[in-house]
A and B are shown apart, each in its own frame.
Chain A
């Protein structure tokens, strides 16, 4: 066991049982999985991504790249960082990337085969056949963790929040900022990823004003708690920073016990990034062996968790701040046997600390190799400028510190570019793009006193900028800072072993060298070729090393080399919280009509109908196939009486004296002379002259019109007209009101429609007198209704519109009245058959973004004499250009029972059945017509208008058929039925 007998912020009275890789262990409340594993002496926690090398815990925070585990307890979830996973009773986790076990992993053979897997090896293998063969093996071993095998049954929530100021990070800088801003009265939200506020101070022995820093933290939190304008969230990590100062954050374990995680959409007038910095590893051979850990993290495990990660330690560093931790290590019983400092000249303060603790300092040297496989045995040290000082030191722990990387990721998400800070040998936030400021260590202010001052000053400025009162704040804080004094040291070329620059992706210094030899020069290209900085850690620890080494190898500066782009999420986010409660029935809202439940209860097969509506597809009777049901429904419509729910159609009221002018501009034909009580078919085009939608507009009153349009097109048509009225034609006196959901629309159609409606109580005289395209207001069984004579089936047809609340009653009334006429509900698939028989062009089907109205045979709806309408210029252009265009035609296959797939190609009859015959068009819609007792189809065919009577071959998924090209109207070409 490596648990110290005292110390740490853990509760030793609360023992927690957990399992890791099938073995039972215990830890304490306050532990993370990583600290508990270290306390139990577990050194190997996982295997690396590519070479399957044994890996141990390297850090104690979100930057961890090695200790990724798969949760196996109440939730199966991969790639959880053990360093930030709170230990809870019954937790069960497993190592990833290993088989059969973490201690004996067959995949480790990759280490021996490493020459076969250089940087970019998969790009190279993609070029060689048979990719299909070996992709199976590569896919099997690639990736991190395993996709969960069981459904996640937890609840997740998404909320929206607005504040004046969002402060991200409750470390010294974030807390200082919040304290200052809060006093101005601005609404502030402080979020922090850890369970307790304090940031790095939780892992530190820092002093503020002669008191432990955590006491200052406690006092600050107490102050903030008394302010109504301040909210605070712990266990909440900002994962992305988007346009308009939108920050996405994930909160784990919120107060509401039924919610596992909550996704916050936070919009702030000002965002303060106080996410701190993470320690950078040094690059040397075998720097990934279990027991090689970041210096501050080792101190953190001692201070916060009372864990001793090793007994005999070598410190390897390039900066003075690392010396700050020596006393912590020594007091925890860790013998620091040597400090290897790559700086030629170490400052006096640091030397004094080492001297005081009796630790020898080897300056101007570096660790060149580590021996030991599953744990560190010793390190080899050598002078930087030659083999002088070459010696080996026995140890079980290597603390290394290559300086500090400000976490510039969120600022980078916001669009800003990091800039190089040569004094601190790192990248710091560049010029903000949005209303954002970075403070403290994330802004390159690494000393505690700097963090606090930076936070207070920034907070005060923000408050004043937002127009709040100027607060009185003291900037004087006494701290026990140690000088940072970092010098750049990227890596020495050495062939003694793999020197990793990116632990997570197993990228080595040699990989970077290879990429450069292969002429990759841009850092972005090198990233993609080697995968350095990719994946879940987004280069938090390793990226500056990659950039430094590339700059060193290419002989350019860090500034010229630049950084890659850090992308969201800052930390992996569960799919559960992204989806939130939008699962099952809530993924897509299913819009309903008053008749939806009736349809479902009467066995209708429901199908998507556009704009989130689901409509009956067809109504199968017991034992009936889809085709049988459609045949029955179509024949009932042609010979008797049918009913369907047309409620989802778009319905818009238009009011104002300029409505005719609007209609003249948006439709291709004229509406100037439309009398009251009459409707007219209209064709709406886009600016490019292609079909947008069609529909009928009725004139209800002098300045009052009612427009109907297709279900799926309704939102588009409404938006189109609103945009025109609000931006282009503000002079038109027209108001547009969406009443689509306010009216139920029941369509009764077929030769016996009048009998059914009069049987339901409608005035027979009115029914007989109504002409095609007329609209009347009347009453049926006490309901006020609007009756319109329009037809989508080609039969006598009445659409009865009634207030939504009365829709179901009206439907049932017609069903009852139609019983004696065998009234038949029909679905949209049957409607499709009826429209194909009639040759009614559908803008969404025959209109394929190429077809214009002339191509579709709708030239009769176009009035080119009108001064203008949307699409006119493009239509004129089509006419002027001429040439061969595709036209809507009908097809009559020789095989009357041919099954033809929509989309089938049309090719010359003599074309060979294989190869690449000349494509002449395609089938847009095909069906079996029970009325004609044969298969029919509509199609778009090159020059089709002039090819009626020709033979063509239909070639598609269902087979190859010869067919005769005809006019596109197969049934009642004179329209006598629907005008009856």
Chain B
């Protein structure tokens, strides 16, 4: 017996953290070939990458692993003349896709925010279980991508397993 939801590790993704003040945003947008979204929790999706906006001065560029270095290199040097910072964070985070008709029922066990506030394509940060998570709502109620600090990945795997199926004392020791 379990919820109808599966947990799939997200493999081989590129992730670049961008911090930038207002004036640097335009420069970064030009470098990426796409304007940065300016409202927190929104995202833009291009053919090659997505840009998730977490706050007025922080974004994630989510791309293929193969593109990561090139994108990073083109963004890194912008800090010479602008107040901005690009950092590769694909190793700092481990990604999980939570997919299924009961995905929301599983996720609401660990996330205290109102998931109904977020539509498909949006993103947010939240406390999650006993660690934090950045969440991309790929398809509302059905598909969520979660990113947790990599050092928590084993714990999160265990957590999802328990959240899907329940945990019994005899199993968990």
Q: Which residues of A contact B (CB under 8 A)?
A: 151-162, 187, 256-259, 265, 267, 581-586, 588-593, 596, 613, 648, 653, 655-657, 702-704, 733, 735, 737-743, 803-805
Stretch at the interface among B30-38, B40-48, B108-116, B134-142: B108-116
Q: Which residue of B lies closest to A653 (CB)?
A: B87
Partner of B159, one of A267, A586, A704: A586
Contact A589 B89 (CB under 8 A): no
Name the residue of chain B whose CB is nearest to the CB of A648. B151
**A156 cross-chain contacts in B, Cβ below 8 A:** 166
Given the interface pairs A155-B166, A162-B116, the reply to whether A739 lies near B111 with Cβ below 8 Å is no
Nearest CB in chain B: distance from A839 CB, A:
31
Distance in angstroms from A899 CB to nearest chain B CB is 33
User: Shortest beta-carbon distance, A719 to chain B, in Å?
Assistant: 12
Q: Note all chain A residues with C-beta closer than 8 A to B154.
A: 590, 592, 596
Inter-chain contacts of A582 with B (CB < 8 A): 130
Contact with A along B130-152 (1 / 0, CB 8 A): 11000000000000000001111
Pick 26 A–B contacts, CB within 8 A, sort by A: A154-B168, A159-B105, A159-B109, A256-B3, A258-B165, A265-B112, A583-B167, A583-B169, A584-B167, A584-B171, A585-B173, A586-B159, A589-B131, A592-B153, A648-B151, A655-B85, A657-B83, A702-B80, A704-B79, A737-B85, A737-B89, A739-B89, A741-B91, A741-B93, A743-B91, A805-B91
Closest Cβ–Cβ distance, residue A628 to chain B (whole Å): 30
Across-interface contacts of B80 in A (CB, < 8 A): 702-703
Residue in contact with A589 in the complex, picked from B2, B114, B152, B172, CB distance below 8 Å: B152
A737 to B91, CA, bound (A): 13
Contact A581 B163 (CB under 8 A): yes
Query: Known: A151-B170, A258-B165. Is A591-B152 also a contact (CB below 8 A)?
Result: yes
Chain A residue nearest to B159 (CB atoms) is A586
**In the assembled complex, how far is the CB of residue B24 from the closest CB belonging to chain A, in whole angstroms?**
10
How far is A340 from B135 in the complex, measured between Cα atoms in Å? 67
Query: By the criterion CB–CB under 8 Å, are B166 and A656 in contact?
Result: no
Find out whether the CB atom of A153 lies under 8 angstroms from the CB atom of B149. Answer: no
Q: Please state if A585 and B172 are interface contacts (CB–CB under 8 Å).
A: yes
Cα separation A621 to B166 with both chains bound (whole Å): 39
Cβ–Cβ < 8 Å partners of B162 in chain A: 581, 586
Task: In the A-B complex, list the 5 residue pairs whose CB atoms are closest, starting with the nearest.
Answer: A584-B172, A155-B166, A742-B92, A655-B85, A162-B114
Interface residues on B, range: 35 or more
Contacts of B120 on A, CB cut-off 8 Å?
A: none
Given A155-B166, A258-B166, A584-B172, A160:B91 Cβ within 8 A: no
A157 and B166 contact, CB distance less than 8 A: yes
**Known pairs A591-B151, A655-B19; A259 contacts B79 (CB<8 A):** no
User: What's the nearest-Cβ distance from chain B to residue A725, in Å?
Assistant: 11
Residue of A nearest to B69 (CB): A784
Determine if A586 and B92 form an interchain contact, defined as CB atoms under 8 angstroms apart.
no
Q: Which of A161, A257, A589, A742 contacts B1 (CB 8 A)?
A: A257
B17 at the interface (CB under 8 A from A): yes
Q: Are A613 and B111 in contact (CB under 8 A)?
A: no
- Among residues of A, the one whose C-beta sits closest to the C-beta of B15 is A742
Partner of A738, one of B92, B130, B167, B170: B92
A697–chain B nearest beta-carbon distance, Å: 16
A258/B158 in contact, CB under 8 A = no
- Shortest distance in angstroms between B145's beta carbon and chain A's nearest beta carbon? 18
| B88 at the binding interface (Cβ < 8 Å) | yes
- Hey, which chain B residues are within 8 Å of A703, CB to CB? 79-80
Residues of A within 8 A of B119 (CB): none
Whether A737 lies near B87 (C-beta < 8 A) is yes
Q: Name A743's closest neighbour in chain B (CB-CB).
A: B91
Instruction: Determine if B150 and A742 form an interchain contact, defined as CB atoms under 8 angstroms apart.
Output: yes
A735 to B75, CA, bound (A): 15
Contact partner of B173 among A584, A656, A738, CB < 8 A?
A: A584
Please name all residues of chain A whose beta carbon is closer than 8 Å to the beta carbon of B150 when the two chains form the complex: 741-742, 804
Residue of B nearest to A160 (CB): B112
Among A581, A596, A738, the most chain B Cβ lie within 10 Å of the Cβ of A581
